[in-house]
Amino acid sequence: MLQIQDTIVSLDLLERKFVCDLAACRGECCVEGEEGAPLEADEIEQLEKVLPIVWDDLPEESKTVINKQGVSYIDRDGEPVTSIVNGAECVFVYTDENGYAKCAIEKAFLEGKTAFRKPISCYLYPVRVDKYASYSAVNYHRWHICRCAEQLGERAAVPVYKFLKEALIGKFGAEWYRELELTATEYKKYVR
């Protein structure tokens, strides 16, 4: 573990390799699971704001769930998460012309229709952030459906922290990321 400002960072972010392989997984991380994506307090409002923009891209099942319970719910740990369809699929998922599961919010962002890209937990995946009283733990989450991303990351020699540079800066800031990069450089000198 490393300490970067008020975070404790798993060495997995430096040691493990990762590059999403959408051609292999087809966006499975958005449709598998038992609960929705973790949300930060202000993100529920952001989801409600972007809903009219993405509404036409959502499947009917998602619209039904949103109409019944809204864009989010409280999970078994008492935390807000995105609403899901059939106990698994995020309500903001749509299927593109190639059959890939994708985020309707990110589609709207990339089309310039919204400044909100998607929940930070989705943007940071496969990293998960757990908040504690005096620090946040930044951990790598291993999931069998992302094995293809680990393999592609190994072939491309891209560590998790480099793959997630933009998302990590979005969450923790540019100075935090510079410290992480510096620490990673020093760490490599001593670990071979």
pLDDT, tens digit, 9 for 90 and up, residues 84-96: 998 889 999 999 9
Burial (CB < 10 A; 0-12, 13-18, 19+), residue 36, is buried
Q: 160, 18 in Cβ contact below 8 A?
A: yes
Phi, psi (deg, nearest 5) at residue 113: -90, -15
Neighbour tally for 94: CB within 10 Å: 19
Residue-level pLDDT at 32: 84
- pLDDT-based confidence at residue 189 (cuts at 50, 70, 90): confident
31 or 71: which leads in pLDDT: 71
C-alpha R_g of the chain: 17
13-33 residue pLDDT tens:
999 999 999 889 888 888 887
SS3 43: helix
Q: Is the pLDDT of residue 2 over 70?
A: yes
Q: For the residues of 133-191, what is the DSSP string, one character each?
A: SS-EEEEEPP-GGGHHHHHHHHHHT-BHHHHTHHHHHHHH-HHHHHHHHHHHHHHHHH-
Residue-level pLDDT at 175: 98
Q: Is the pLDDT of residue 191 over 80?
A: no
The DSSP bridge pattern shows strands 89-90 and 84-85 to be antiparallel
C-alpha count within 13 angstroms, C-beta hemisphere, residue 27? 18
Among residues of the chain, what percentage have pLDDT more than 90?
Answer: 83
Domain locations along the chain: 1-18+126-192, 26-114
Residue-level pLDDT at 192: 65
The H-or-E segment that residue 68 falls in is helix 60-69
Amino acid at 108: A
For the full predicted model, state whether its pTM sits above 0.85: yes
Among residues of the chain, what percentage have pLDDT more than 70?
Answer: 99
Distance CA 117, CA 187 (A): 32
